[in-house]
Structure 1
Amino acid sequence: MDCSIWLPSKLTSDQGKQFESNLFHKLTKLLGIDKIHTTPYHPQSNGMVERWHRSLKTALRARLNHKSWIEELPIILLGLRAVPRSDTNVSAAELTFGKTLRLPGDFYDTDRNVSYDSYEYVQKLRQSIDRLKPRPAARNSKHIFVYPDLKTCNKVFVRNDTVRKTLQPPYDGPFNVIKRSDKIFTLQLPDRKAKFPIDRLKPSYVLNETDVTDETSPQKVYFTQPEIPSPTSCPEIPKI
């Protein structure tokens, strides 16, 4: 966690051991940071960071040539922070420092002599940010199917997104529903309570004991074994 620029007021992480440790909780409490975490195996809830991690890994794979990735990391981070984003048309460095970074190639350009008035620059920057609009979602975005019966069911199955064996069932459960919202369900597991996103759940259809009455209970059917004649009682076969 880099706090060289400022301290974050809120920190979102997954439920990895390093983020859920007692040491990390004490550190965030000492620094006055509101620590929240995503639901298990649901990277979509922290999609902005996960998308940036994918770009970082792609850049590392392109640069590695029998070298250590740690040696290549500084130049890759410099490039990612200096490139303009497609939705805002400005780089992360410009949003943080208010100006572009000086890249290695800029040191050889001696013809540029640009001076900025600080007040005028800040005013133009604020006007530009106010004109920014969020980028609309793609029309072909994937629609997530949600079971309609999740609104009323008392028990649900949870999809197991961990690496599993070939014949292992894809769902665990069923588990009792304690609390539900539009996107998050709180379930009672065998040893604890846990929250799960709705796209990992499917309703469980279980018959209650009260649904089975004497009228609908299966009746016993008795079969009588037919008598098998003894060999002595069989008629003799005429000899030919």
Structure 2
Amino acid sequence: MCKLLGIHKTRTTSFRPQSNGGVERFNRTLASMLSMYCKQNQDQWDQYLQQVMMAYRSSVHASTSRTPNSMLFGREVTLPLQAVIPQPDTEIQENRSPDDYVAHLQNKLKENHAFARKALKKGGSCFDFGPNKEKGVCSKLTPKWKGPFIIEKRIDDVTYRVKRSLRQPSTVYHVDRLALYQGRNVPSWASRFRRMMDLEEANNDQQLDKPVG
């Protein structure tokens, strides 16, 4: 069957996941997606498997510019919302040379990194990347991004001081460990803390405006 379909089959060895990198990378993506749904009840991860896989198969991959459905079946799956509102036709990007693809990927990473730095501002909300291990909890099914938290201060181009709660002292993080939060479920103490920062900034401005002597 592999010879008929032109498939190059490789074999793997036990306790050596590097020999099956494609499958292991997908397992990592799948575990990351499942962790967003079974945070409270990790024993029920299999109940979300079909919905998560439907979302994965209908999403466009950056490497192929196509969805797994279109690659396998030659057509897109009809999602519930698309049955009501048809999806407009999109043009498929032409195949690019490896050098063009690498250059495009590098520019895309630079743009995303620059956007993340500009988007993180004082008083804004952000996520913090902090995987942790707890006894009796599967780390693979635990969300790696915690938050949202409040950015207290921008120290320099790559470091920020973040407030996780009113009772805890602020923590300094590198920009690579932060991600912009654009939702509405901000912490209940966020508005109070922002007023405290505005009041402190106003007091500092008044101290600078006072004449010396």
TM range (shorter): 0.3 to 0.5
Give the structure-2-normalised TM-score: 0.37
Task: Give the structure with the larger helix fraction.
Answer: 2
Higher RCO structure, 1 or 2 (CA under 8 Å, sep 6+): 2
Give the structure-1-normalised TM-score: 0.33
